[in-house]
Amino acid sequence: MKQQTNPEPCISVLRAGPLALLQDSGRFGVRHLGVTQGGPADQYSWAWANHLTGNPWGTANLEITFGGLQLVAGRDLEIAITGADLGATMDQKPVPLWQRISWKAGETLAFAAPVSGLRAYLAVCGGFVAEPVLGSVACVTREELGGFGGMGTKLAAGDQLSVYSSGLPVGEGLIQAPREAILDFSQPAVLDLLPGAQIAHFTGRSLFDAFNTWWQVDDRADRMGVRLTGPRLNCKISTLVSEGINLGGVQVPPDGQPIVLLNDRQTIGGYPRLGSLSPLSASRLAQCLPRERVKLAAKGSDAALEQYRSFRALFHTASR
């Protein structure tokens, strides 16, 4: 809990790298205003970073894409890094991921480049201090909403970050993720797709191709969506009247190459969709680098719901 604030900045940004963003669970209840959801592209790793630092669900932590970020601590902090292996070091010594570690005043935490996966999450015991905008600190650069300062700016060299005092006594709670919880991003991903939307309008051949192809992640991939390249998928309808589109939606524009919609997608869209990735598969896809291969696997909503609920249940007990 955030009983007391710590207004003194305690982390300095030496180098920002290409993209480091503050993310809480996302911006909700405002999508009818054209405001997107935001939040962590890999919710799974983001949640584990909070969990290992004793932060409740929803606490804002840093999403670091590609690496390149260098930070120096102004006081002793407890942190956890999860998600991608971006070659993180503490004063040039490799740091362990998926566990709570100490970051002493004066030490430099540096992220290099992707070893496996694309996005790392850095959580600090207590959580980062930022003022919510439309109910959330989730940083969406395109919308100029959220983040430190509220205007949707990514981290920049020279930024000074503040952290709430932790309510967590050192050593309390789970400090290391069990081995089976740690994802191996070096293996090709098989993504669960819940069929839906306009799937009935795709040709039989295209449906066969959709689920029997190793799709390649394209360069055109960001927090709005990830384009996959492979065989051309044909739908009997080419465009729809624009409608609300959800996280993980797999839309197919007239060029037949699917785009999986992620957190910063527009709120409405008009391309036919095969269905939606499960939330955990959308998280997994967000860790894929361009040119990696992924496969789509049809999954029933009951099984996907059970899987998602057991994931969320992990964070209910220990997050109080």
Partner 1 sequence: MSWKPVLESAGLDSWIVRLFEDIDEHNLPWLSALSRRCEQAFGDALIDLVPSYTTLLVVFDPLMISPSQARTMICRILADLEPEDSADAGAIHELRTWYDTSVGPELSRVAEHAGMAVSDVIDAHSQQVYRVFALGFAPGFAFMGLTDPRLECARLDTPRRRVPPGSVALAGRQTAAYPKETPGGWNLLGRTSAKLFDREREGFSLLRVGDQVRFVPVSREEFEREGGDTTPMEPLV
Min separation Cβ 299 and partner 1, Å: 10
Could you give the string, one character per residue 84-123, with x where binding to partner 1 holds by CB under 8 A and - elsewhere?
A: ----------------------------------------
Near partner 1 by CB under 8 A: residue from 24, 107, 143, 292: 143
> Residue 113 CB: number of other CB atoms within 10 A?
11
Residue 81 interacts with partner 1 (CB under 8 A): yes or no: no
Q: CA–CA separation, 239 vs 44, rounded Å?
A: 33
Min separation Cβ 228 and partner 1, Å: 18
Residue 314 interacts with partner 1 (CB under 8 A): yes or no: no
Q: Which stretch binds partner 1 (CB under 8 A): 75-83, 97-105, 154-162, 268-276?
A: 268-276
Near partner 1 by CB under 8 A: residue from 221, 275, 286, 288: 275
Min separation Cβ 86 and partner 1, Å: 29
Residue 194 interacts with partner 1 (CB under 8 A): yes or no: yes
Q: Which stretch binds partner 1 (CB under 8 A): 102-110, 118-126, 174-182, 308-316?
A: 308-316
| Exposed/middle/buried for residue 28 (C-beta within 10 Å: 0-12, 13-18, 19+) | middle
The residue (of 126 and 225) whose beta carbon lies closer to partner 1 is 225
Could you give the string, one character per residue 23-42, with x where binding to partner 1 holds by CB under 8 A and - elsewhere?
A: -----xxxxxxxxx------
The residue (of 40 and 126) whose beta carbon lies closer to partner 1 is 40
Near partner 1 by CB under 8 A: residue from 53, 210, 279, 296: 279
Instruction: Give the 3-state secondary structure of the chain.
Output: CCCCCCCCCCEEEEECCCEEEEECCCCCCCHHHCCCCCCCCCHHHHHHHHHHCCCCCCCCEEEEECCCCEEEECCCEEEEEEEEECCCEECCEECCCCEEEEECCCCEEECCCCCEEEEEEEEECCCECCCCECCECCCECCCCEECCCCECCCCCCCCEECECCCCCCCCCCCCECCHHHCCCCCCCEEEEEEECCCHHHECHHHHHHHHCCCEEEEEEECCCEEEEECCCCCECCCCCCCEECCCCEEECCCCCCCEEECCCCCCEECCCEEEEECHHHHHHHCCCCCCCEEEEEECCHHHHHHHHHHHHHHHHHCCC
Min separation Cβ 265 and partner 1, Å: 10
Cβ proximity of 77 and 165 under 8 Å = no
Supply 316's token pair. 């209910």
Q: How many residues interact with partner 1 (rule CB under 8 A)?
A: 45
Near partner 1 by CB under 8 A: residue from 93, 179, 309, 320: 309
Supply 166's token pair. 């932790």
Min separation Cβ 268 and partner 1, Å: 4
Residue 145 interacts with partner 1 (CB under 8 A): yes or no: yes
Could you give the string, one character per residue 224-263, with x where binding to partner 1 holds by CB under 8 A and - elsewhere?
A: -----------------xxxxxxxxx--------------
Residues that bind partner 1 (CB under 8 A): 28-36, 133-134, 142-145, 194-198, 241-249, 266-269, 275-279, 301-302, 304-305, 308-309, 312
